[in-house]
Amino acid sequence: MHYKSIKEAVCKTALEIYKSNLVIGTWGNVSSRIDDDLCVVTPSGLAYDSLSAKDMVVVNSLGTVIEGDYIPSIETPLHTAIYQARPDVKAIVHVHSPYATAFAVANREIPLILEETAQVIGHPVRVAAYAICGSQQLADEAITCLSNGEKAILLANHGLVAVEESLSKALKVCLIAEKTAMIAINALKIGSINPLSAEDTSLLNEKFKSYGQEKK
Protein backbone atom coordinates (compact mmCIF):
# COMPACT_ATOMS: atom_id res chain seq x y z
CA MET A 1 0.00 0.00 0.00
CA HIS A 2 1.48 3.32 -1.09
CA TYR A 3 1.51 6.30 1.33
CA LYS A 4 0.68 3.88 4.15
CA SER A 5 1.53 6.20 7.04
CA ILE A 6 -0.51 9.09 5.63
CA LYS A 7 -3.49 6.82 4.97
CA GLU A 8 -3.28 5.49 8.51
CA ALA A 9 -3.17 9.03 9.91
CA VAL A 10 -6.17 10.15 7.84
CA CYS A 11 -8.14 7.07 8.90
CA LYS A 12 -7.23 7.61 12.56
CA THR A 13 -8.38 11.23 12.41
CA ALA A 14 -11.62 10.22 10.71
CA LEU A 15 -12.31 7.81 13.57
CA GLU A 16 -11.48 10.57 16.08
CA ILE A 17 -14.03 13.01 14.67
CA TYR A 18 -16.62 10.24 14.83
CA LYS A 19 -15.77 9.28 18.42
CA SER A 20 -15.74 12.96 19.42
CA ASN A 21 -19.31 13.43 18.12
CA LEU A 22 -18.19 15.99 15.57
CA VAL A 23 -20.01 13.99 12.88
CA ILE A 24 -22.76 11.40 12.61
CA GLY A 25 -23.49 8.87 9.88
CA THR A 26 -21.07 9.29 6.99
CA TRP A 27 -20.96 13.09 6.93
CA GLY A 28 -17.70 15.01 7.26
CA ASN A 29 -14.34 14.28 5.65
CA VAL A 30 -10.61 14.35 6.29
CA SER A 31 -7.56 14.74 4.07
CA SER A 32 -3.79 15.11 4.26
CA ARG A 33 -1.42 16.53 1.66
CA ILE A 34 1.18 14.21 0.14
CA ASP A 35 2.90 16.77 -2.08
CA ASP A 36 2.02 19.72 -4.32
CA ASP A 37 -0.27 17.56 -6.47
CA LEU A 38 -1.49 14.63 -4.37
CA CYS A 39 -3.48 14.17 -1.19
CA VAL A 40 -5.13 11.34 0.73
CA VAL A 41 -8.85 11.81 1.38
CA THR A 42 -11.55 9.76 3.07
CA PRO A 43 -13.92 7.77 0.82
CA SER A 44 -17.51 8.79 0.15
CA GLY A 45 -20.38 7.19 2.02
CA LEU A 46 -18.54 4.61 4.13
CA ALA A 47 -19.41 4.27 7.82
CA TYR A 48 -16.67 5.62 10.08
CA ASP A 49 -16.64 2.60 12.37
CA SER A 50 -15.83 0.33 9.43
CA LEU A 51 -13.01 2.41 7.94
CA SER A 52 -9.45 1.15 7.58
CA ALA A 53 -6.34 2.71 6.08
CA LYS A 54 -6.72 0.71 2.86
CA ASP A 55 -10.07 2.42 2.24
CA MET A 56 -8.45 5.86 1.92
CA VAL A 57 -8.23 7.38 -1.56
CA VAL A 58 -5.33 9.18 -3.21
CA VAL A 59 -6.37 11.98 -5.58
CA ASN A 60 -4.51 14.61 -7.56
CA SER A 61 -5.18 18.35 -7.63
CA LEU A 62 -7.93 17.83 -10.22
CA GLY A 63 -9.70 15.30 -8.01
CA THR A 64 -8.75 12.35 -10.21
CA VAL A 65 -8.33 9.09 -8.31
CA ILE A 66 -4.71 7.95 -8.44
CA GLU A 67 -5.03 5.09 -5.98
CA GLY A 68 -7.92 3.51 -4.12
CA ASP A 69 -10.93 1.25 -4.54
CA TYR A 70 -13.59 3.79 -3.62
CA ILE A 71 -15.05 7.08 -4.82
CA PRO A 72 -13.41 9.90 -2.84
CA SER A 73 -15.40 12.21 -0.58
CA ILE A 74 -18.01 14.40 -2.26
CA GLU A 75 -16.09 17.36 -0.82
CA THR A 76 -12.86 16.47 -2.63
CA PRO A 77 -13.12 19.69 -4.73
CA LEU A 78 -13.10 21.65 -1.46
CA HIS A 79 -9.98 19.89 -0.22
CA THR A 80 -8.01 20.11 -3.46
CA ALA A 81 -8.93 23.77 -3.94
CA ILE A 82 -7.72 24.66 -0.45
CA TYR A 83 -4.42 22.84 -0.98
CA GLN A 84 -3.88 24.72 -4.23
CA ALA A 85 -4.75 28.10 -2.69
CA ARG A 86 -2.93 27.58 0.62
CA PRO A 87 0.52 25.94 0.25
CA ASP A 88 0.94 26.20 4.03
CA VAL A 89 -1.98 23.83 4.65
CA LYS A 90 -1.02 20.18 5.08
CA ALA A 91 -4.25 18.79 6.55
CA ILE A 92 -7.99 19.51 6.38
CA VAL A 93 -10.78 18.31 8.66
CA HIS A 94 -14.41 19.07 7.79
CA VAL A 95 -17.10 18.32 10.39
CA HIS A 96 -20.79 18.95 11.02
CA SER A 97 -20.56 19.48 14.77
CA PRO A 98 -23.83 20.81 16.25
CA TYR A 99 -22.79 23.99 18.05
CA ALA A 100 -20.45 25.27 15.35
CA THR A 101 -23.05 24.43 12.72
CA ALA A 102 -25.64 26.38 14.71
CA PHE A 103 -23.52 29.48 14.10
CA ALA A 104 -23.23 28.53 10.42
CA VAL A 105 -27.03 28.27 10.17
CA ALA A 106 -27.45 31.63 11.93
CA ASN A 107 -24.83 33.14 9.59
CA ARG A 108 -22.90 34.39 12.61
CA GLU A 109 -19.18 34.03 13.22
CA ILE A 110 -18.00 32.10 16.27
CA PRO A 111 -16.69 34.87 18.54
CA LEU A 112 -13.23 34.91 20.04
CA ILE A 113 -14.21 34.54 23.68
CA LEU A 114 -11.87 31.92 25.15
CA GLU A 115 -8.13 31.84 25.73
CA GLU A 116 -8.03 28.44 24.00
CA THR A 117 -9.68 29.97 20.94
CA ALA A 118 -7.09 32.73 20.84
CA GLN A 119 -4.24 30.29 21.33
CA VAL A 120 -5.27 27.58 18.89
CA ILE A 121 -7.31 29.45 16.26
CA GLY A 122 -6.39 33.10 16.75
CA HIS A 123 -9.37 34.70 15.04
CA PRO A 124 -13.18 34.66 15.03
CA VAL A 125 -14.49 31.85 12.83
CA ARG A 126 -16.20 33.55 9.90
CA VAL A 127 -18.98 32.18 7.71
CA ALA A 128 -18.43 31.49 4.01
CA ALA A 129 -21.40 32.21 1.74
CA TYR A 130 -23.73 29.29 1.09
CA ALA A 131 -23.17 26.94 -1.84
CA ILE A 132 -24.34 23.39 -2.54
CA CYS A 133 -22.20 20.64 -0.99
CA GLY A 134 -19.60 19.16 -3.32
CA SER A 135 -19.78 22.08 -5.75
CA GLN A 136 -16.93 24.16 -7.12
CA GLN A 137 -18.80 27.21 -5.88
CA LEU A 138 -18.53 25.89 -2.32
CA ALA A 139 -14.79 25.47 -2.79
CA ASP A 140 -14.52 29.01 -4.18
CA GLU A 141 -16.47 30.51 -1.27
CA ALA A 142 -14.31 28.64 1.22
CA ILE A 143 -11.09 29.82 -0.40
CA THR A 144 -12.31 33.42 -0.28
CA CYS A 145 -12.95 33.06 3.44
CA LEU A 146 -9.54 31.42 4.00
CA SER A 147 -7.57 34.04 2.08
CA ASN A 148 -5.93 35.68 5.11
CA GLY A 149 -4.31 32.64 6.65
CA GLU A 150 -7.35 31.56 8.69
CA LYS A 151 -7.30 28.19 10.42
CA ALA A 152 -11.06 27.67 10.52
CA ILE A 153 -14.19 28.79 8.72
CA LEU A 154 -17.87 27.94 8.78
CA LEU A 155 -19.75 26.89 5.67
CA ALA A 156 -23.19 28.50 5.78
CA ASN A 157 -25.97 25.99 6.60
CA HIS A 158 -23.41 23.22 6.46
CA GLY A 159 -20.53 22.86 8.93
CA LEU A 160 -16.97 23.67 9.98
CA VAL A 161 -13.68 23.42 8.09
CA ALA A 162 -10.30 23.41 9.84
CA VAL A 163 -6.98 23.73 8.01
CA GLU A 164 -3.59 23.25 9.61
CA GLU A 165 -0.05 21.98 9.21
CA SER A 166 -0.95 18.55 10.63
CA LEU A 167 -3.99 16.37 11.15
CA SER A 168 -3.68 16.52 14.94
CA LYS A 169 -3.67 20.31 14.86
CA ALA A 170 -6.62 20.46 12.46
CA LEU A 171 -8.57 18.14 14.76
CA LYS A 172 -7.72 20.35 17.73
CA VAL A 173 -9.00 23.40 15.83
CA CYS A 174 -12.33 21.59 15.28
CA LEU A 175 -12.62 20.65 18.93
CA ILE A 176 -11.81 24.16 20.16
CA ALA A 177 -14.17 25.79 17.66
CA GLU A 178 -16.98 23.47 18.77
CA LYS A 179 -16.27 24.14 22.46
CA THR A 180 -16.20 27.88 21.83
CA ALA A 181 -19.50 27.77 19.95
CA MET A 182 -21.12 25.74 22.74
CA ILE A 183 -19.96 28.15 25.45
CA ALA A 184 -20.99 31.18 23.40
CA ILE A 185 -24.51 29.82 22.94
CA ASN A 186 -24.81 29.03 26.66
CA ALA A 187 -23.37 32.41 27.67
CA LEU A 188 -25.90 34.21 25.47
CA LYS A 189 -28.67 32.47 27.42
CA ILE A 190 -27.34 34.14 30.58
CA GLY A 191 -26.49 37.53 29.14
CA SER A 192 -24.01 39.09 26.76
CA ILE A 193 -20.59 37.81 25.74
CA ASN A 194 -17.30 39.69 25.93
CA PRO A 195 -14.86 38.84 23.13
CA LEU A 196 -11.13 39.07 23.76
CA SER A 197 -9.39 42.14 22.41
CA ALA A 198 -7.16 41.95 19.34
CA GLU A 199 -4.17 42.80 21.54
CA ASP A 200 -4.87 40.01 24.05
CA THR A 201 -5.59 37.57 21.24
CA SER A 202 -2.26 38.31 19.58
CA LEU A 203 -0.40 37.94 22.88
CA LEU A 204 -2.10 34.65 23.74
CA ASN A 205 -1.54 33.26 20.25
CA GLU A 206 2.15 34.15 20.34
CA LYS A 207 2.69 32.71 23.83
CA PHE A 208 1.02 29.45 22.81
CA LYS A 209 3.67 28.88 20.14
CA SER A 210 6.22 28.19 22.89
CA TYR A 211 3.81 26.38 25.22
CA GLY A 212 4.74 22.96 26.57
CA GLN A 213 8.02 21.17 27.12
CA GLU A 214 11.22 22.13 25.38
CA LYS A 215 12.68 19.49 23.10
CA LYS A 216 15.98 18.09 24.38
The pLDDT tens digits of the residues spanning 84-128 come to 999 999 999 999 999 999 999 999 999 999 999 999 999 999 999
* Catalytic residue positions, numbered: 75
Q: Find out whether 56 and 41 touch, Cβ atoms under 8 Å.
A: yes
> Quick one: average pLDDT of 169-174?
99
Quick one: CA torsion of 200, 98, 80, 122, rounded to 10 degrees?
0
Mean pLDDT of the chain: 96
Helices (H), the chain: 4-19, 76-85, 98-106, 115-120, 136-145, 167-190, 198-208
Residue 161 three-state SS: strand
User: What pLDDT is recorded for position 88?
Assistant: 98
Instruction: Report the pLDDT value the prediction gives residue 208, as an integer from 0 to 100.
Output: 80
pLDDT of residue 207: 84
Q: Are the beta carbons of 86 and 163 closer than 8 angstroms?
A: yes
pTM, two decimals, is 0.95
Domain 4-208 fold:
L-fuculose-1-phosphate Aldolase (3.40.225)
Q: What is the pLDDT of residue 99?
A: 99
Mean per-residue pLDDT, 45-55 = 96
Integer-rounded Cα radius of gyration of the chain: 17
Is pLDDT at 216 greater than 70 in this prediction?
no
Mean pLDDT of 13-26: 97
Domain map (residue ranges) of the chain: 4-208
Q: Whole-angstrom distance between the N-terminal and C-terminal Cα of the chain?
A: 34
